[in-house]
Structure 1
Amino acid sequence: MIHAPDRIVPGILLMIGFTVTAPVMDSFAKLAAADIPVGQIVAARFAVQIVLLFPVAAALGTLARPGAREAAQHLARAGLIVAATTAFFAALRSMPLADAIAIFFVEPFILTLLGALVLGESVGWRRVVACLVGFGGALMVIRPSFAAFGAVALLPLLTAFCFACYVVLTRHVARQSHPVALQAWTALAACVIVLPALVLFDGSGVAPLDPVMPQGVFWLWLLGVGLAATISHLFISAALRLAPTAVIAPLQYLEIVAAAALGYLIFDDLPDAQSFAGIAIIMGAGLYVFLRERHLSRPPPPPP
């Protein structure tokens, strides 16, 4: 099978779309976590994705029934994204949004290394430096403190590792599947994993998995989680279909910009001067990757 060549600039733009919409999902999840168990929020996230994506995939004619190998890949991706989502939503119950995302930002560095080790992608020194500079900026935005949050601070680290593995596996299969169908089947596989657990623990008193009936505005928060998750992961699936992992990994640091803005607007968390300096560094690192890859993707000038 002959694959289309990587299209760097569209992949970068789609990844930027992901960095803007993913913190919106996290904000809705933090709002919902005040009354809704974490497992139920995760289930709502994937259930809404199923309702939205399966009709679209069917209309596009991309909803081919997966074979055994594809079904196994969907289950593997679903297991990773369920673990990542559950750990992060659990962290958001007690941690500020920006703190949790700051700890999570070891993920692009893990992703860059996995892209080289697992996928054999070329990782030049400039991309490695961009990852390190962006990570340094993320640390300036929020200084993660294990002393302040205890074992809860380990949850975003678990999210980072699981999500990096999820992205690598997505990169492996994204060229073979349409992004809408890919996310639809993954959402279905995730519900196959999550829903039996909710049924099993119904009435058990185990807080993370004992479902409740949402009241009032919490229906809106759950719908927002699913809608924002669907949009953001369509962005990242399409981005991975077009651009190498090592190219888009540093761009994930732009997510902290949206997280800082939402933290201020929704949770009244205003970054200090050092945090604003870190945001500037993150934006600079992301912009550098964008401009460099745009330059490298240009065709060479014709010979004189």
Structure 2
Amino acid sequence: MKTDILQQSKSVNKGMLFMLLAVLLLPFTDAIAKYLSTSLSPTQIAWIRFFMQVVFIFLISLFIKQKIEKFRLSYIFLGLFVSLTIILLFWGLRYLPLANNIALFFIEPMVLTILSVIFLKEKIFYNHIIAVLIGLVGTFIIIRPNFALYGIASFLPIASAICYALYLMSIRMASNLGNSISLQFWVGVVATFFLSIVILFGESFNIEVFSFHKIDSSIWWILLILGIGTTIVQLLVSSAFFHAKASTLASFQYLEIISATILGWLMFNEIPDRFTVLGAMIVIFAGIYLVRHERKANKAQNLNQN
């Protein structure tokens, strides 16, 4: 019994370590995407990101000798939602400061709660309602100065958060997704295919944000770093969720704001205004409050089952 508890504790600690590394690395890949957005379109950057993910994960599967499992229909929805997430996030990075973009994306846990109630028929408690309302207040505080400065672009990270919440909800609804290598490989394939269609559409109708610009040879190494970095992040997140529950890992994502603020300041001379900082703190508080309630609910459920 003690051995089982010790092994479970080690597994959870390993999951938290993987998640910690992922959320600290993620803003670096966002910073690279923001830098590339001055010469490449958001859709093009997203296409390169997923194409490289497919290539790298295929090579990793050969190296570790892990077979990629067969394609599942659920991968289609996951690929569509995650590709839209990245397009909108990178599109927002073109206009908004790095920290502001991530702060607005933090509404995702609240959106996921609302979607879970509507589509998954999950029960909602007053704690959920309080967290969602507090999170919305924080979001409006962030939007107000950002909308005045950046206009409609302020809603791009919010739309990205909604798509990512749909991605996570699709994972909850799927009965079997296979191992993390197979999941990330096939999601990358679907996303690459979907973004190829979007780029063809953009080129046909001369829509800049969906087009494919000529890539200067001097930035190929940056694209390579982006591909490697995003692949590592995805594998770390997948591994983290294999070792620990979502409710245990959810609050770690808010650490992104720390490295995003530092990177925004060092790379782009961006310093969030006081309203963005205040709104971000409120949204983070709402998210952590929601996560803590989920943990308590899960513990109570486990005790009742035992």
Distance 1:174 1:46, change over 3 A: farther
Return the letter of the residue paired with 1:180. I
Could you list the runs of 5+ residues in structure 1 that have no partner in the other structure? none
Whether 1:33 and 2:34 are equivalent positions in the alignment is: no
Distance 1:174 1:58, change over 3 A: farther
Question: Aligned residue for 1:106?
Answer: 107
Return the letter of the residue paired with 1:51. V
Distance 1:201 1:286, change over 3 A: closer
How far apart are residue 224 of structure 1 and its match? 2.8
Could you list the runs of 5+ residues in structure 2 that have no partner in the other structure? 1-7
Question: Aligned residue for 1:248?
Answer: 249
Answer yes or no: is the 8 Å Cα contact 2:198–2:210 preserved in 1. Answer: yes
Return the letter of the residue paired with 2:254. Y
TM-score relative to the length of structure 1: 0.76
Whether 1:48 and 2:49 are equivalent positions in the alignment is: no
TM-score relative to the length of structure 2: 0.76
How far apart are residue 105 of structure 1 and its match? 1.4
Question: Aligned residue for 2:170?
Answer: 169
Question: Aligned residue for 1:224?
Answer: 225
Answer yes or no: is the 8 Å Cα contact 2:15–2:242 preserved in 1. Answer: yes
Return the letter of the residue paired with 1:78. G
* Separation (CA, whole Å) in 2 of partners of 1:171 and 1:237: 14
Q: Secondary structure at the match of 2:212?
A: coil
User: What is the number of residues matched between the two proteins?
Assistant: 293
Q: Percent identity?
A: 28
* Separation (CA, whole Å) in 2 of partners of 1:158 and 1:276: 20
Question: Aligned residue for 1:21?
Answer: 25
Answer yes or no: is the 8 Å Cα contact 1:133–1:282 preserved in 2. Answer: yes
Question: Aligned residue for 2:4?
Answer: none
Question: Aligned residue for 1:193?
Answer: 194
Q: Secondary structure at the match of 1:197?
A: helix
Distance 1:174 1:249, change over 3 A: farther
Root-mean-square deviation (CA), in Å?
3.9
Q: Secondary structure at the match of 1:208?
A: helix
Answer yes or no: is the 8 Å Cα contact 2:110–2:287 preserved in 1. Answer: no
Answer yes or no: is the 8 Å Cα contact 1:171–1:241 preserved in 2. Answer: no
Deviations along 1:53-87, one digit per CA (max 9) or x if unpaired, are 012224444434425xx1x2111111001111111
Distance 1:249 1:110, change over 3 A: farther
More helix by share: 2
Return the letter of the residue paired with 2:51. A
* Separation (CA, whole Å) in 1 of partners of 2:260 and 2:70: 36
Distance 1:251 1:51, change over 3 A: same
How far apart are residue 263 of structure 1 and its match? 0.6
Deviations along 1:147-193, one digit per CA (max 9) or x if unpaired, are 32222112111101000111222345596421122101111111111
Distance 1:25 1:236, change over 3 A: same
